[in-house]
């Protein structure tokens, strides 16, 4: 395929970045990958990708100069550590401060040197917990810790609009991938025979298979007229009880041990609402783009990621 120019990618060695990078290269882009350890990152990058150093906050203007677009995926994982005040601060600053700095760096470039588009990760946590309400991209923000982080995160990304850059805000659901993210810790208690619904199990869980996430991102990158929020979720959200049953069937384990809501709150503090809250999110704009989702069925998506490593 003919060369299509350079892209800047943050989070290239993270879960989504590792899945996305080969597709970007296959689409004909050369990719500049931001890394805190560019020497180490370079050893694992495929041909067509090169590592550029950054401190996790300030994006060098030279890294952006001449790129066709920037894709900003970096951020502290929401789960995987104790819910301390310091960790919550890192979750926020790693997203909001880095995006603010990136938008500022765009403004230091001459208009002809700026990327034409910024695709910036956000999360379905933007909507807060909304019960049975169907949530598309026009739905207002909700309440809670992650909702506040997402509002500030997206506001920071929109700062690039002042410099004439097309901004797409990617509200990503729970990503199903065997190599990281939410799925391995979610599956672990089931593998031990200790899995079960969280709370009453009726809360809606917006999910997406990693390969479908890549498909949505590529569609957003390719459409020069697309801007604003895009829900990056599968067309069929599932309730937590349905997720529990599907995990049990895929892993061939029992699912009888219900986890009380108070136990989740005791373990996670104000992050517990991200597991107990209900978000019935639909991908209206992705479907309007004509994205062909491979995985509409939750159990098939789980099986594609979990069964190859199950023995």
Do the beta carbons of residue 182 and residue 175 sit within 8 Å?
yes
Q: Could you identify the residue written with the tokens 């034409």?
A: 116
- 113 part of a folded domain: yes
- DSSP labels for 3-63? ---EEEEESTTSHHHHHHHHHHHHTT-EEEEEESSHHHHHHHPPTTEEEEE--SSPPPHHH
Q: What is the per-residue pLDDT for 69?
A: 97
| pLDDT of 89 higher than 90 | no
- Residue 226 placed within a domain: yes
Q: Flag whether the pTM goes above 0.75.
A: yes
Cα separation, 165 vs 100, whole angstroms: 14
In what helix (H) or strand (E) does residue 204 lie, and over which residues does it extend? Answer: strand 204-205
Q: What is the predicted pLDDT for the residue at 2?
A: 43
- Confidence grade of residue 163 (pLDDT, cut at 50, 70, 90): very high
Q: Which CATH number does the domain housing residue 28 bear?
A: 3.40.50.720
Predicted confidence (pLDDT) per residue in 138-157, tens digit? 999 999 888 999 999 999 99
Indicate whether 181 belongs to any domain. no
Assign 69 to helix, strand or coil. strand
- Cα–Cα distance between 295 and 209 in angstroms, integer? 7
Classify residue 186: in a domain, yes or no.
Answer: no
Structurally, how many domains does the chain consist of?
Answer: 1
> What end-to-end distance do the CA atoms of the chain give, in Å?
38
Which tokens hold the place of 195? Answer: 């899995």
Gap between the Cα atoms of 208 and 303, Å rounded: 13
Instruction: List C-alpha distances in Å: 52 to 15, 31, 36, 61, 66.
Output: 19, 10, 8, 11, 15
Please report the pLDDT score of residue 302 as a whole number. 97
Confidence (pLDDT) at 308: 52
In a domain, 53, yes or no: yes
Tens of pLDDT along 101-130?
Answer: 999 999 999 999 999 999 999 999 999 999
The DSSP line for 172-196 is E-EEE-TTSTTHHHHHHHHHTT---
CB 142 within 8 A of CB 126: yes
- Give the model confidence (pLDDT) of 255-270 as tens digits: 888 888 877 777 667 6
- Exposure pattern of 88-117 as b/e (b: 16+ CB <10 Å)? beebbbbbbbbbbbbbbbbeebeeeebbeb
Confirm whether 298 is domain-assigned.
Answer: no
Average pLDDT across the chain, whole number: 90
Say if 239 falls within a structural domain.
Answer: no
Q: Which domain holds residue 157?
A: 6-174+209-233+282-292
Token reading at 173 = 């659901």
Residue 78 forms part of a structural domain: yes
| Minimum mean pLDDT range among 22-26, 84-88, 90-94, 196-200 | 84-88
Three-class DSSP category at 281: strand
β-bridge mates for residue 7, sequence order: 31, 69
């Amino acid at each position: 395929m003919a060369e299509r120019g350079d892209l800047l990618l943050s989070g290239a060695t993270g879960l989504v970045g590792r899945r996305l990078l080969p597709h970007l290269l296959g689409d004909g882009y050369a990719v500049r990958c931001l890394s805190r350890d560019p020497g180490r990152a370079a050893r694992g990058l495929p041909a067509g990708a090169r590592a550029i150093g950054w401190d996790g906050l300030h994006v060098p203007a030279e890294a952006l100069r001449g790129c066709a677009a920037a894709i900003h995926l970096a951020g502290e994982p929401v789960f995987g550590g104790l819910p301390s005040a310091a960790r919550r601060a890192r979750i926020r600053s790693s997203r909001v401060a880095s995006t603010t700095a990136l938008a500022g760096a765009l403004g230091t470039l001459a208009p002809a040197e700026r990327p034409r588009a910024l695709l910036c990760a956000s999360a379905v946590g933007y909507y807060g917990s909304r019960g049975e309400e169907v949530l598309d991209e026009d739905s207002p923000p909700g309440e809670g810790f992650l909702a506040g982080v997402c509002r500030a995160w997206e506001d920071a990304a929109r700062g690039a609009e002042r410099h004439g850059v097309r901004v797409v805000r990617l509200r990503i659901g729970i990503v199903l991938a065997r190599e990281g993210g939410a799925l391995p810790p979610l599956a672990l208690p089931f593998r031990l025979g200790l899995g079960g619904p969280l709370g009453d199990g009726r809360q809606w869980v917006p999910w997406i298979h990693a390969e479908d996430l890549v498909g949505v991102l590529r569609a957003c990158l390719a459409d020069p007229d697309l801007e604003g929020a895009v829900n990056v979720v599968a067309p069929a959200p599932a309730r937590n009880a349905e997720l529990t049953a599907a995990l049990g069937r895929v892993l061939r384990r029992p699912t009888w041990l219900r986890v009380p809501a108070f136990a989740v709150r005791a373990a996670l503090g104000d992050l517990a609402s991200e597991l107990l809250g209900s978000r019935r999110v639909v991908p209206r704009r992705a479907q309007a783009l004509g994205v062909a989702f491979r995985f509409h069925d939750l159990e098939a998506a789980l099986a594609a990621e979990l069964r190859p490593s199950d023995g």
